[in-house]
Amino acid sequence: MLRAIVGLFERAWLHLVTVAATIFLGLSPLHLDGLRHWGAHHQLGNWVIGDWAAGVWLGFLGLCSMAGVFLGVARYEKASRGVQAELMIALRTSLIPVAERFIKLRRPVNADKFEDVVTELTTRCVLFAKKDGDRCDANVYQLSGDRLIRVNRAADTARDEFVKSRKTTPRAVEESHVVDRVKSGELAICEDVQSADSRATLKLADGERNYRSFIAVPILRSDRSVYGMISLNSQKKNGLSDVHLQYLNNVARLIAALDSVNTSSNNANNASVRQNGS
């Protein structure tokens, strides 16, 4: 408990100082009058201590407030640079090698080989997101009509597909909402599946889940057509951050590129077959 309190203070002390200084500045007419009244009966040579103390106090509060703002901006920029650095390291060490191996495969890549590549990419996502004993899961789904069909190999707990239907059961409504969202190329971020707002916005059905938060990113081809989606979930509330979102966006672009290359190879082969046949 004490460690948690100390950790919270370390993260929030700058905001607390800034807020406190700003509040005191807003209330300055009240406590400055008190200082002047006290100082009216105390003088140091030709100085009226109340006016001098009031000026010092006001200046101190102003400096604290401005310093808090500038330090907050500096901390944010430093954190942003850290996120970008972490992301670039992850891309170089995990995604680029996978792309290089795919490039070396003979075209067109058959379904089993493509499944292997996508499965490896989802595994990389899990390893990237996994920390402090947290259990994560990632899956890729391909859009086929009114269905989203899982492409990668996964555990038994992963859904095999999402189906849009006219059924009105909570599960069916949730699945229909997911398919519609992916078709429109929308991103979904859920910090807590148990919150009422998330359930209402994302049409989540009631019931137990083996995850607490998730991010679902649409996979869009270069012509903006939809291939499907990649989802990453965590067992922790607020278990995923902006760096995970950026990582998923890069994985989604890579999968879209792999699919486009494979589709082009298939089209070229089909055209060659038709030409030879004629």
Q: The dihedral of CA 152, 153, 157, 162: what is its sign?
A: positive
Residue pLDDT tens, the chain, 278 long: 455 454 544 555 555 555 555 555 444 444 545 555 544 544 444 444 445 555 555 566 566 666 665 555 555 555 555 556 666 666 666 777 777 777 777 777 788 888 998 999 999 899 888 876 678 999 999 999 999 999 999 877 789 999 999 999 999 999 999 999 999 999 999 999 999 999 999 999 988 898 999 999 999 998 899 999 999 999 999 999 888 998 999 999 999 988 888 777 666 555 554 555 55
Paired tokens of 241: 């951050």
The structural architecture, per CATH, of the domain 105-273 is: 2-Layer Sandwich (3.30)
The residues spanned by each domain of the chain are 2-79, 105-273
Q: Give the integer Cα–Cα distance in Å for 141 and 229.
A: 5
Q: What angle do CA 157, 162, 168 make, to 5 degrees?
A: 110
Separation between Cα atoms, residue 119 and residue 144, nearest integer Å: 19
For residues 219 and 229, the answer to whether their CB atoms sit within 8 Å is yes
* DSSP-based three-state secondary structure for 210: coil
Indicate the pairing of strand 43-44 with strand 47-48: antiparallel
Give the Cα separation of 75 and 83 in Å (integer). 12
